[in-house]
Structure 1
Amino acid sequence: MNQELTEITVIGDDDTGLIARVTSMLFERDVNIEDLDQAVRQGLFRMTMRVDTTGMSCTEAELRDALDALCDDLGMDVQVRFPADREAKRIAVLATKESHCLAAMLEAFVDDDPEAEVAVVVANHDDLAPLAAAHDVPFYDIGDAGGVPDEEWLLDILAEYEVDLVALARYMRILSPNVVFRYESRIINVHPSLLPSFAGAEAYRQAIEKGVRIAGVTAHYVTTDLDQGPIIAQRVFDVPDDATPEELEERGQPLEAEALVEAVRLHLAGDLVVGRGRTHLREDSDAELGLPEEIAELNPDEPVDRPVAEVVEEE
């Protein structure tokens, strides 16, 4: 996202004339729309605009007030992010009880990175509250006694902290389409398998039952299809003979944390483009996807399929 542009997101029940009402109001205040993306899913409307406010004929406060009033009239929610609001990109981390991915995210984006921050931790149990407190990060337990999350509360928290990205740090609940649609292309999950293999629950156990020799982990964008979103980063490890799911989990957890942090860094740096269900690097990116070159070079490059006459001649 161009950091010199203001981002406006409007979400609510679909109705006729929504785009015209909002864009007309912006035009009247000399706000230039540079990019507009809109979609409707299951009756829910979402419009995201990136606009140039440098020549607008009102103040930032007046524009916020006008958008709030219009969207109240339309029964919509609106979020406005001016360039100055984004000095550091804001991450919400969702977790349950496992600490390893949350610990890695806090270390990477609270202690080490001045351009991004974990703004809030949200969980469906309170087990990890001390970990967030140790890093002075606000913590919310939105789960009931059985861990069922209050997603309306979750959406309120995400809006309050104006998050740029949601990272699922072993959050053991499936987000509803309502949440995923509102933050589409801005939610990253880490899953303990080499997707698309072994989606769903107990992935390490699935790997053992299928007899694989190499297992792994995957960081991917979240879509409404469980564990099917575009893949960003993966890591692999050997599966020993007679390994238990617990032993695979012990091998996989450090890689889960590493893959999640890598995927978040790539997203926040603007290195990723998603097309046809696959992630690509922007042309001007210096990042890498897939195996590091030194590992890829270990793979054999011969033999390859060639005309038989050529092979015989060389023999």
Structure 2
Amino acid sequence: MTDGMTEITVVGDDDVDIVVEMTAFLFERDVDITGLDQAAQEETVRTTVQVDTSEMATSRETLREDLDDLGDELGVNVQVRFPADRETQSIAVLVTKESHCLEALLEAWVDGDLGADIEVIIGNHDDLQPLAAKYDVPFHDIGDENGTPDEGRLLDLLDDHDIDLIALARYIRILSPEVVFRYESRIINVHPSLLPAFPGASAYSQAVEEGVRIAGVTAHYVTTDLDQGPIITQRAFNVPDGATKTDLQERGQPLEAEALTEAIKLHIDDEITVRRGQTTLRNPEETDAQLGAPEELDRQTPDRPIDVDEFVVGDLDETVSADD
């Protein structure tokens, strides 16, 4: 989201000429369009409009209501995010049965370290409802007896709570392309491997089977390609001889919670940017964020020998290229 700009996102069928309708709608209210982007997926189109609302001839509340009415009239979903909303962003946490990541996020929120509010917790099982109740956060179980989620209800809950960011706190379900498409660049997942290694299910088991000596975890943005979204933070740990899946879980789960919490903070504080599928720190000299391993690792890594452009062979004073 561009600093100082209001962002309007419209998702609907591709037979609706939303650009024409939105242009006329905003012109009538003295709202200037500063940027527009469209993306399509099958028969669904997402239109993102960045506008300047500093001199609009209406209130924010009225603009929201009018946009809702326009969405109902056109049969599309409309969301609006004003610049000030960034200071109090709302988070929905999606969970299954594992509690460690959810508890870490709740503790960071209560301590005032998260930078946003956890508005709702949504699960495909009800196992973590007591934990949500402990922190007085609404909990909704959207799964059937097999844990299959009702994604229509999920989208309704996200709309009802005006969610800015979705955190997948060990949510053991693959989000449908429709959900990912609507919240692109606003969903963060934590995966129990050093991606791109061992994507998909049973990552710790895969690590044991392959005999890796170093394993880890990754927090990343979610895309429609499973576990291939831009990487935000990673943490690593040594794998002892004879380690089992349970051993890796015990070592990895605290790091999962740490990596996910750190990634969410970076997103909320607008400290990261994504270019060509890779994340970078927006102002690296102004942050102590830990995207990878601790700095101690750099001091342990040998710095010699390395390839050089040219070197001298023997006593012949013969210059040889490093590419030879």
TM-score by length of 1: 0.93
Shift of 1:275: 1.5
Matches of residues 144-183 of structure 1 in structure 2 within 5 Å? 144-183=144-183
Contact 1:170 1:190 in 2 (8 A): yes
Go from structure 1 to structure 2 and tell me whether the alpha carbon gap of 1:162 and 1:214 turns closer, same or farther (over 3 Å shift). same
Shift of 1:67: 1.8
Partner of 1:198: 198
Contact 1:124 1:143 in 2 (8 A): yes
Is 1:49 matched with 2:52? no
Alignment equivalent of 2:305, drawn from 280, 303, 306: 303
Q: Secondary structure at the match of 2:312?
A: helix
Matched residue pairs, number? 313
**Which sits farther off after the overlay, 167-176 or 269-278?**
269-278
Shift of 1:83: 4.0
In structure 1, distance between residues paired with 2:162 and 2:66: 19
Partner of 1:270: 270
Shift of 1:4: 3.8
Go from structure 1 to structure 2 and tell me whether the alpha carbon gap of 1:229 and 1:298 turns closer, same or farther (over 3 Å shift). same
In structure 2, distance between residues paired with 1:133 and 1:169: 17
In structure 2, distance between residues paired with 1:290 and 1:248: 19
Runs of 5+ consecutive residues of structure 1 not aligned to the other structure: none
Q: Secondary structure at the match of 1:140?
A: strand
Partner of 1:58: 58
Runs of 4+ in 1 over 6 A off after TM superposition: 310-313
Contact 2:115 2:269 in 1 (8 A): no
Partner of 2:98: 98
In structure 2, distance between residues paired with 1:284 and 1:74: 44
Go from structure 1 to structure 2 and tell me whether the alpha carbon gap of 1:84 and 1:281 turns closer, same or farther (over 3 Å shift). closer
Go from structure 1 to structure 2 and tell me whether the alpha carbon gap of 1:134 and 1:36 turns closer, same or farther (over 3 Å shift). same
Partner of 2:242: 242
Contact 1:220 1:232 in 2 (8 A): yes
Contact 1:34 1:51 in 2 (8 A): yes
Partner of 1:215: 215
Shift of 1:290: 2.6
Contact 2:236 2:293 in 1 (8 A): no
Q: Secondary structure at the match of 1:218?
A: strand
Matches of residues 182-193 of structure 1 in structure 2 within 5 Å? 182-193=182-193
Partner of 1:290: 292
Shift of 1:87: 4.3
Contact 2:114 2:264 in 1 (8 A): no
Go from structure 1 to structure 2 and tell me whether the alpha carbon gap of 1:118 and 1:309 turns closer, same or farther (over 3 Å shift). same
Contact 2:114 2:265 in 1 (8 A): no
Partner of 2:72: 72
